[in-house]
A and B are shown apart, each in its own frame.
Chain A
């Protein structure tokens, strides 16, 4: 998703303008490109309620699209900002309803149960990867998701998060570092991480470079 080739980006850029002029097909194209990014990003904040949050976000995106000014990257950042605001609203609402508060991992698991079959091939890796990222401290998870999944650079990600680019770089660096640790837990620092790790770690070449030196 990150490495979309340039031709696709150009097509999407045109679709963005056409959608702003009201073209439905172009809007669908944009949706299919952006929604997976948004729902994964939202998942790091609200867990299993990501779909609700993105639905709300899309209402706003659809409404305000004609007045949006910017290119495709700007559009992704803009949609991510909207999604984040909806997600934070959602958290606030949820915190007012005690009892429905479940840890993120559980929510992610619950959400993931629904599409197990779809995940059968490569989805498992995606789900586990997202879960690992979601287990990071939220600022790190958000930074990593915005950069890796939404596809923003540090500056745009900083705009979404209301932070300086440097802070985003640091957060994503720390997040990645922690992820690397989790991938090969030397002395099992994260107990809850282990169930998610083995299938994923096995699926990759096991000759870790950086992480092996940790002992």
Chain B
């Protein structure tokens, strides 16, 4: 059966057309159509077994994504609170000593999620990691299943969950205010506030989140006064 036999008009292009379901020899096309005919029941015999495997399978991708986000926010919130407390102390100390915590800016981000997220083995990460275990609860990931949600929906859902988890785990009073960018900035506002004026103790929690702009302004002035000595108690603890 040499290839030249069939040369009558059947070249590679004709083959491509035929594979697309058009043209070509009628019988050949019929053969291909028959080969691609709809499923015969016998071919679907393994459906239930496959479904069982499907139901038994973990959903690592979704879970880890959700868990990572949750962990991220948890840690972030922790960092905000912890950082604020530390910096408050540091600022108070600095106020007493006459030093203002310029170094606080460096220290505050360090407990931030960037480190903890990658590997929660840093010393300061331990409080955060302690809170992680709730994350891998498997029921969470199954929740979205009935909603036929697309990826977009899934993403929308995730933030909602994070807010929930954030609340109960940590003091709910201040946290809702703190957006993800907290830790990066919270170095400024809290210490600036406390270091600057004694009244802003209440503004501590609020500052990282809502008062981003205002806090920054305060931080600018506060930091300007005596930022240089980086020896805050905060920095000592953090690193």
Contact = CB atoms under 8 A, between A and B. Distances in A.
Interface of A: 1-3, 14, 17-24, 26-28, 31-32, 35-36, 39-40, 51, 54-55, 58-59, 61-63, 65-67, 114-115, 118-119, 122-123, 125-126, 128-130, 132-133, 144-145, 147-149, 151, 154, 169-170, 172-174, 176-181, 183-184, 186, 189-190, 200-201, 203-205, 207-211, 213-214
A162 to B, nearest CB: 20
B8 A214 contact: yes
Identify which of A21, A24, A128, A154 gathers the most chain B CB atoms within 10 Å of its CB: A21
B50 to A, nearest CB: 4
A51 B43 CA distance: 8
B44 A148 contact: no
Contacts of B24: 176, 210
Interface string B10-31: 1110011011010011111011
Contacts of B6: 177, 180-181, 210-211, 214
A133 B35 contact: yes
Nearest to A52: B46
B31 A35 contact: no
A21 B55 contact: no
Contact of B40 (A36, A58, A67, A207): A36
13 contacts: A17-B150, A21-B154, A51-B46, A55-B49, A58-B46, A62-B56, A67-B60, A177-B10, A179-B31, A183-B27, A204-B26, A204-B27, A214-B6
Contacts of A59: 50, 53
A32 B48 CA distance: 11
Given A62-B57, A183-B28, A21 B145 contact: yes
Contacts of B33: 2
B36 A2 contact: yes
Given A123-B40, A183-B27, 4 more contacts: A2-B21, A22-B142, A205-B26, A208-B27
B42 interface: yes
A85 to B, nearest CB: 17
Given A126-B35, A148-B32, A177-B15, A208 B25 contact: yes
B138 to A, nearest CB: 11
Interface residues of B, number: 60
Please classify the interface of chain B as helix (H, G, I), strand (E, B), loop, or mixed, using the class held by over half of its residues.
Answer: helix
Given A3-B21, A115-B40, A176 B28 contact: yes
B148 A183 contact: no
Contacts of B145: 21-24
Contact of A63 (B18, B57, B142, B151): B57
A210 B37 contact: no
A213 to B, nearest CB: 4
A41 B44 CA distance: 14
Given A22-B59, A59-B53, A62-B53, A31 B47 contact: yes
Nearest to A151: B36
A130 B21 contact: no
A201 B34 CA distance: 12
A209 B25 CA distance: 6
Given A128-B34, A170-B12, A172-B15, A183 B46 contact: no
Nearest to A22: B145
A49 B217 CA distance: 73
